[in-house]
Structure 1
Amino acid sequence: MRNRLFGFLICVVSSSFCKAQDSLSLDTNSQSSVQEAKANLQTSFFRREWVKKSTAPVLFFTASAATWGERKNIREIRNRYIPTFKVGYDNYLQYAPTAAVYGLKLAGVKGRNNIGRATLSYAASIGIMGLLVNSLKYTAKVERPDGSSKNSFPSGHTSMAFTNASFLHKEYGLVNSAYSIGGYSAAAITGLGRNLNNRHWISDVLAGAGIGIISTELGYFFIDKIYKNKGDNLGMLAGIEGNGNPSFLSLKLGTALSTTNFLKESELSDKKEVGFETGIEGAYFFSKNWGIGGDFSFSSFPVKPVEFPLDEELGNFDVTTESLGFLNFGIGPYYSHEFSEKLQLTLKATAGYSSPASGKVIVKSELFDLPNNEFQVAEYKPSSSFRWNSGAALTYKFNPELGITLYADYNQTQSTITYHFNEILQNDDDLSDDLNDDYAKEKINYVSIGLKLSAYF
């Protein structure tokens, strides 16, 4: 977000007219106060400074609360795709934005503040962040997903990463929005790493992001009060503006509606499914209308299993088929058209890659002398494949930097699904003809409809 420097009131009067000077100053200050009050009343709610500063933290805290009940299910998705993932980059990447700030300052690149004042603001931010994180950690006592300790909520690494990213944004976001994008990208990848390394629940990471941002805002607020202004070099940087093109970065969440039965040929399901989609999307525009962008998304579809010919002696049993999920990546051209200052249409066509997850068909019965009383009937394994995507989005902008987007996308890919039935069933004389290993090509077509929170730069 960019801070705006309000105009200065300069009163130049002759020193020989002291009484006139005093009178004029009082009148001018009074008129200025009235005009400022009117301007504040006329300012759109979403353009007010405190609203812009608190929007992102509030959204992260809300998302943390919303995912609290689903955190174990989300962890299960991680365990299906990358159960052995263990890469320690998140221990170091969290500090990259702050290293960039001091590297730029030592190189002589002017930012919002000189190095001394920037350090004070950073120290205040870290102090507030540490107080909030540790107070919550040792009060909530949430067990980590790997069971190693009971100080999971919130994620300290993620809080540190977003504090550092906000520090870079505060100091150099006005100079070039690329600094902000790089800083917050590093913070997001750090948070993702905490989740992928099985060290934190997704709700821990989301809350940590909100704490990091709000801590930096508060740190700068208090230090600015001491200095009686909003930055050492704001006058010099006030004239720096973006190019006005609709480049954006979005977080999206929506419903995924299948238009085909994904497991029709393999006969593991006879239904079209309704699932969900979430991900990140962004584009850089070279002009008012044309740009290039891409998305990284995850979509998941619950699978309603078909009835399997099972022995009646099993009594009461449950048949469960694990959901069919896809990790997607695509890149391509984007087109934008502004109907007004508030309303914007975006069209896209991307091509890329889709990587699905394997799934299992499981029967659960109290008569099974097996772990969790579960018997694996079958397993399906889709292949990775080419994926193309097209879509349209309509954005309402709260202000030039933030908007809410309604989107609709069409996704298509074709995957070869190999399915394998349990050897015990294959060796049964009555079932062997029907339950042989095989493979089938399945059309994976679905429409996703949802909302995006879009930040423009």
Structure 2
Amino acid sequence: MNKIALAFCMLLMICLYQAQDTIPSKNDLQQAISETPTLPEKKLFFKKEWVKKSIAPTLLFTASAATWGGRENIREIRNRYIPNFKATFDDYLQYAPAATVYGLKLAGVKGRNNIGRATLSYGTSLAIMAILVNSIKYTSKVERPDASAKNSFPSGHAAMAFTNAGFLDKEYGLVNPAYSIGGYGAATLTGLGRNLNNRHWMPDILAGAGIGIISTELGYFFIDKIYKNKGDNLSLLSRIESNGNPSFLSIKLGSALATTNFLKESELDDHKQVGFEAGLEGAYFFSKKWGIGGDVSFSSFPIKPIRLTLDDEQHYENFDVTTQSLGFLNFGIGPYFSHDFSENWQLTLKATAGYSTPASGKISVKSEHIDAPNNEIELASYKPSNAFRLNLGSALTYKFNSELGITAYAEYNQLKSTMNYQFSDLVKDDDEMNEMFNTSFAKERIKYITIGLRLTAYF
């Protein structure tokens, strides 16, 4: 699960960088509309416009290549945790950013361009994206993970979603960074949906995202050349400023430290575990101090094997009982409090309540005396119940500027889940093993602390 979490965290981080990079500052806008011609400054290589615009697609294509060899492993993790997942939100969410653009324009909200020019730029972007995606799809002929067709690489949904997110970013990112963050967030969730629905491999999604971003950049590049400027409404938009409240969206990644033995009641674990956490978090502040927000996160904990011994010499003398890692998909919402120590340092406190959906797993016995594949046979499966989750947290952010910061956070999580066990025939038919594993359910108190970092974008 680490690979999936890291891949999507990196995907959203790149998107936040892309949004941050394409939002002009007030000085940039004023310079763009200045009537006095000035000699162009000689820029360093990495500050050149075309270099900055190529960083995000390059990183995405590199990530696609890097995850190609591990795509089977990523699918195996998906099949274990959510084998029956099926949802159609990705079919519709991919269009949400573009629909937002036209909704805002019809409502009279000024963006970078008027509706006619915006449509020309958008249409050009879609044409470029369609040519790139379909030419690669039907040349590479990569089989989909569900074996339904051989047109998996790259993901057309991801390419469409990121083209539309780029469209929203270009038109309204300079009005408010929240539009860019929301657009790229929706595109990332679309890509996640394609993976969860087993319709695309991880490299397909990363490559599709890169193609979408490139297509939008090229579409706007060509149309801007025709109009010989960078937009219709720059003079008006240069006067727009943020309201100053610390509303934010962030991605987080950290370590999860158990404070209790999770499977103590069923005697399948006698150690406190160290796992990982990854997720998204955001809040909308009504004032400089108070707001409401929430998070969506995934926490996973490996379970150390335990050594057991059977007294009957006809059975295996010593063997290891291994339990698949515990995983929790968490949702929460609640009040947030913020305090600025200085222009760069900010403290945030929160108290959220919500829901936790654990993943099921298997319990196996392993020994060199077992005549089975990998010297392992399944003893039982476990299924934790859904549970109420309490989350308390604090965070300290260092702001690079008014729109982006790095955050160190610490949180306390608590939930109570009932573990239901289904035993194999091996346990049911053996009196000694049946006596040893006689717990059909156990109520487990699950408490853990998470410590990690967030990349925080303010809007």
> What range is the shorter-chain TM-score in?
0.7 to 0.9
* DSSP-derived class of the 1:303 partner: coil
Q: Read off the aligned partner of 1:6 and give its amino acid letter.
A: Q
Paired residues of 2:307 and 2:320 also in contact (CA < 8 A): no
Aligned residues: 431
**Deviation for aligned residue 1:360:** 0.9
Q: Output the CA distance in 2 between the equivalents of 1:397 and 1:191.
A: 29
The reply on whether 1:194 has 2:218 as its aligned counterpart is no
Which range moved further: 265-274 or 48-57? 48-57
Partner of 1:184: 184
The reply on whether 1:94 has 2:115 as its aligned counterpart is no
Partner of 1:383: 385
Paired residues of 1:266 and 1:419 also in contact (CA < 8 A): no
- The structure 2 residue matched to 1:321, chosen from 323, 338, 362, is 323
Partner of 2:4: none
Q: Read off the aligned partner of 1:193 and give its amino acid letter.
A: G
TM-score computed with the length of structure 1 as normaliser: 0.82
Q: How does 1:143-292 map to 2 (within 5 A)?
A: 143-177=143-177, 179-292=179-292
Deviations 1:211-265 (A, max 9, x none): 3234323322332233222101121222122212221111222222222211111
- The structure 1 residue matched to 2:451, chosen from 426, 449, 452, is 449
Q: Read off the aligned partner of 1:397 and give its amino acid letter.
A: K
* DSSP-derived class of the 1:112 partner: coil
* DSSP-derived class of the 2:169 partner: helix
**Deviation for aligned residue 1:291:** 1.5
Which range moved further: 50-59 or 383-392? 50-59
Partner of 2:12: none
Which range moved further: 64-73 or 249-258? 64-73
The reply on whether 1:3 has 2:24 as its aligned counterpart is yes
**Deviation for aligned residue 1:49:** 6.5
Q: Output the CA distance in 1 between the equivalents of 2:68 and 2:338.
A: 36
- The structure 2 residue matched to 1:427, chosen from 429, 433, 446, is 429
**Deviation for aligned residue 1:37:** 3.8
Deviations 1:392-450 (A, max 9, x none): 22333333322332322221222222234323323323333222133222221222222
Q: Output the CA distance in 1 between the equivalents of 2:69 and 2:448.
A: 27
**Deviation for aligned residue 1:300:** 0.9
**Deviation for aligned residue 1:163:** 0.8
Gaps of at least 5 residues in structure 2 are 1-18
Which protein has the larger Cα radius of gyration, Structure 1 or Structure 2? 1
Q: Output the CA distance in 2 between the equivalents of 1:378 and 1:112.
A: 59
**Deviation for aligned residue 1:68:** 4.9
Cα distance, 1:414–1:313 mapped onto 2, change above 3 Å? closer
Which range moved further: 439-448 or 309-318? 309-318
* DSSP-derived class of the 1:307 partner: strand
Cα distance, 1:157–1:434 mapped onto 2, change above 3 Å? same
Q: How does 1:80-91 map to 2 (within 5 A)?
A: 80-91=80-91
Partner of 1:128: 128
Gaps of at least 5 residues in structure 1 are 12-28
Cα distance, 1:411–1:152 mapped onto 2, change above 3 Å? same
Which range moved further: 193-202 or 415-424? 415-424
* DSSP-derived class of the 1:346 partner: strand
Partner of 1:405: 407
Deviations 1:359-412 (A, max 9, x none): 111246899788888632022222221211122223333333223323222212
Which range moved further: 436-445 or 158-167? 436-445
Cα distance, 1:209–1:382 mapped onto 2, change above 3 Å? same
* DSSP-derived class of the 1:399 partner: coil
Cα distance, 1:456–1:207 mapped onto 2, change above 3 Å? farther
Cα distance, 1:69–1:446 mapped onto 2, change above 3 Å? farther
Q: How does 1:302-321 map to 2 (within 5 A)?
A: 302-309=302-309, 320-321=322-323
Q: Output the CA distance in 2 between the equivalents of 1:219 and 1:335.
A: 42
Cα distance, 1:383–1:245 mapped onto 2, change above 3 Å? same
Deviations 1:46-90 (A, max 9, x none): 9x8778756655665566566555544443343344322333332
Q: Output the CA distance in 1 between the equivalents of 2:351 and 2:296.
A: 14
The reply on whether 1:118 has 2:118 as its aligned counterpart is yes
Deviations 1:154-188 (A, max 9, x none): 32101101111221222233445554454334323
Cα distance, 1:182–1:391 mapped onto 2, change above 3 Å? same
Cα distance, 1:400–1:204 mapped onto 2, change above 3 Å? farther
Q: Read off the aligned partner of 2:433 and give its amino acid letter.
A: L
Paired residues of 1:421 and 1:436 also in contact (CA < 8 A): no
Q: Output the CA distance in 2 between the equivalents of 1:59 and 1:406.
A: 25
Q: Output the CA distance in 2 between the equivalents of 1:61 and 1:449.
A: 30
Cα distance, 1:255–1:49 mapped onto 2, change above 3 Å? farther
**Deviation for aligned residue 1:299:** 0.8
Cα distance, 1:240–1:210 mapped onto 2, change above 3 Å? same
* DSSP-derived class of the 1:244 partner: coil
Q: Read off the aligned partner of 1:272 and give its amino acid letter.
A: K
- The structure 1 residue matched to 2:351, chosen from 334, 349, 369, is 349
- The structure 2 residue matched to 1:361, chosen from 349, 360, 363, is 363
* DSSP-derived class of the 2:126 partner: helix
Partner of 1:24: none
Cα distance, 1:299–1:59 mapped onto 2, change above 3 Å? farther
Which range moved further: 134-143 or 330-339? 134-143
Paired residues of 2:363 and 2:379 also in contact (CA < 8 A): yes
Identity of aligned residues (%): 71
Cα distance, 1:240–1:312 mapped onto 2, change above 3 Å? farther
Q: Output the CA distance in 2 between the equivalents of 1:64 and 1:404.
A: 26
Partner of 1:17: none
Paired residues of 2:309 and 2:318 also in contact (CA < 8 A): no
Cα distance, 1:9–1:159 mapped onto 2, change above 3 Å? closer
Partner of 2:438: 436
Q: Output the CA distance in 2 between the equivalents of 1:304 and 1:3.
A: 51
